[in-house]
Structure 1
Amino acid sequence: MTAMRTTAARPRGVLTRLLELFLLPVLLIALWWAGSASSGNYYMPTPDVIAEKFREVWISERFFVDVLPSVGLLLSGFALAAVVGVALGVALGLSPRARAVGEPVLEFFRAVPPPVLVPLLMLLVGVNTPMKLAVIVSGCVWPILLNTIEGVRAVDPVLADTCRCYGIRGRRWLTTLVLRSASPQIMAGLRQGLSIAIILMVISEMFASSSGLGFSIVQFQRSFAIPEMWSGIVLLGLIGFLLSVLFGVAERYVLGWYRGVRAASRGE
C-alpha cells in the first residue's frame, strides 16, 4: 500500500514541478499575444511573428557569425574576471594591511560605471576584442572580488588553528581551508558577475563593434526591423537562462559538501 502511494505521488510531483516551471511563461506569452494582437502596434509584434523571424534570422549562418562569437566573448570575459577576482580577493582577504591600503582605490574604481569606460577604452585599446573583454572584466570582477574577500575573512579561526596544529600549510592550506570555506560566497559573487557579464557583452557590442548579437539588435532597431529586433532580445533571454541553468548545475557540484553540512546541521 505504501509503495502504491509513493508511485502515485511521484508523477504528481513531476507534474506539479512542470506546472510551476511553465505556467508563468505560458501566461506571459498569452498576455503578450492578446495585447499585441488587439493593439495593432507595429512595435509590438505577436509572438508567432517573433518566432518566425527567430527561425529565419538566428537558425542560419548568422548563428555562427554573430551568436557564437558573442557567447565566446562573454565566457572569456567572465572567466578572466573570475581568475582576477578570486586571486586578488584571496590576497586581500588574507592580508588586513593590504586590504586597508587598497580599499580606497578599489572603492573608487568600483563606483565607476563600466559603460562609461567604453569611449576611453576605445581610445586606449581600439575597437577590437581586447576592448570588449576589458569592458566585461571591468564590471563583473567587482562582485567576485568583494565576495571572495568577505568569504576569506570569514574563515573559522578554530579550523585555522586546527590546520596549524596538524601542519597543514602552503598550497594545501589554501585549497583545503581557505578556498573551501570561502566557496559559498565566491559562488555567490560568480553568479552576480555572470549576470553583469551578459549585460556588458551586449553594451560593448552595441557601441563598439561591427558584428555580434548586440550589434545585430541595434542594426535591426535602426532599420526598423522590429520583429527581428525582438527575436534578438528573446535570444539574449534564452542565452541568459541557459547560462543560469548551467551555472546552477556547477554550483550544486562545487557546493555539494556545503549542502551536506547544512542538511546534517538541521538533522535532515
Structure 2
Amino acid sequence: MTSFLLRLCPVGLAVLLWEWVTLSAGSPFFPTPYDIAVRAAQLWFSSPLLTERFWLDAGPSLARALAGWLAGALIGVAIGLAAGQWRAAAGYIDPPVQFLRSLPKPAIVPLFLLVFGAGDVMRVGLITFGCVWPVLLNTLQGVRSVDPTYLDTARAFHIPAARRVVRVVIPAALPQIVAGMRVTLSLSLILMVLSEWLLADDGLGHFLITAQRTFEILDVWAAVVLLGLIGYLLNVAFLAVEKRVLRWHHHISQGAS
C-alpha cells in the first residue's frame, strides 16, 4: 500500500502543478484539471459506472484499435517466424518490409481510403498495417537469437520441424514477441484516432476532431485525457497478462541474476 501511494505522489504533484499553472494563466484554451474532470464526468462517467455516451464514443474506438492490434500481431508473428526460421525467406521478405515500415502512416491514409473506402475496414486495416512491423521485427530478432543448443537438442531427439517451432522456437522468442506487442498497443490507439479523423461518424477520434472544429475546448481536453486513461488501463491489463504468461521467463531471469 505504501509503495502504491509513493507511485501516486508524482502524479498528484503533476496535477497540482497543472492546476496552478492554468489558474495563473487564466487562458480559455488551457482549462484546469478540475474543469476537465467535471466535463469528462458529465460526458462519460455520470451514471453509476459509465454513461451510454461512453459506449457510443469509446466503444467503437476500442473495438477498432484492439481488432487492428490483434490482426497486426498475428501477421507480424507469422511472417517473423517464417523469416527467422528460413534464411531464404528472409532474403525475399526483408526488402519489402524495410520499405513498407518506413512509410509515414498518415501518408497511407489516402491510399487506404481509395482501396477500402471510408468504413471500418479501412480503419482496422490502417491500424493493422501500423502494428505489423514492430511485432514482425521483434519476432524475427527473437527467433534468430534462440540458443542453437535448444534446436540441436530438438533435432537430436528427431522432433519434427513444426513441433520444434511450437515447443522450442516460439517459447524462446516469446519475450521479444510480447515486447513488440506492448509497443504496438499504444500505437494502435494513435492510428485509431488518426483513422477516425476522416469521414467517421463515431469514435473518440471523431469526437475529438468535431470538438476542435466547433471550438469546444473543454471537450477536446476531456477527450485527450480519456484517451490517455484508456491507454494507461490497457497497458496495465497487458502487463498483468504478460506477467502471467511469462512467469517462467521471469523466474529464469531472477535465477540467473
Cα distance between partner residues in 2 of 1:104 and 1:171: 26
Letter in 1 for 2:7: L
Q: 1:5 maps to which residue?
A: none
Q: Which runs of 5+ in 1 are unaligned?
A: 1-13
Q: 1:98 maps to which residue?
A: 89
What is the aligned-residue identity percentage?
39
Query: Are the aligned partners of 1:152 and 1:182 in contact in 2 as well (CA < 8 Å)?
Result: yes
Q: 1:41 maps to which residue?
A: 27
Cα distance between partner residues in 2 of 1:88 and 1:228: 41
Cα distance between partner residues in 1 of 2:144 and 2:167: 15
TM-score by length of 2: 0.95
Structure 1 position 43, deviation (Å): 0.5
Letter in 2 for 1:164: R
Cα distance between partner residues in 1 of 2:168 and 2:6: 39
Query: Are the aligned partners of 1:122 and 1:208 in contact in 2 as well (CA < 8 Å)?
Result: no
Per-residue CA distance 1:201-244 (angstroms, 9 max, x = gap): 11101123121001101111111111111111110000000010
Q: 1:4 maps to which residue?
A: none
Q: 2:41 maps to which residue?
A: 55
Moved more, 57-66 or 79-88: 57-66
Cα distance between partner residues in 2 of 1:127 and 1:137: 16
Cα distance between partner residues in 2 of 1:48 and 1:174: 53
Q: SS where residue 88 of structure 1 aligns?
A: helix
Runs of 4+ in 1 over 3 A off after TM superposition: none
Cα distance between partner residues in 2 of 1:208 and 1:161: 54
Match of 1:126 among 105, 113, 117: 117
Q: CA RMSD in A?
A: 1.1
Structure 1 position 31, deviation (Å): 0.7
Structure 1 position 120, deviation (Å): 1.1
Q: 2:62 maps to which residue?
A: 71
Q: 1:169 maps to which residue?
A: 160
Q: 2:249 maps to which residue?
A: 258
Q: 1:150 maps to which residue?
A: 141
Paired residue total: 252
Q: 1:30 maps to which residue?
A: 16
Q: 1:218 maps to which residue?
A: 209
Moved more, 189-198 or 169-178: 169-178
Q: SS where residue 39 of structure 2 aligns?
A: helix
Q: 1:183 maps to which residue?
A: 174
Higher CA-based Rg: 1
Per-residue CA distance 1:35-93 (angstroms, 9 max, x = gap): 11111100111111111110111233211111111101111000100110001110111
Match of 1:244 among 235, 239, 249: 235
Cα distance between partner residues in 1 of 2:157 and 2:218: 65
Cα distance between partner residues in 2 of 1:111 and 1:236: 26
1:83 and 2:74 are equivalent in the alignment: yes
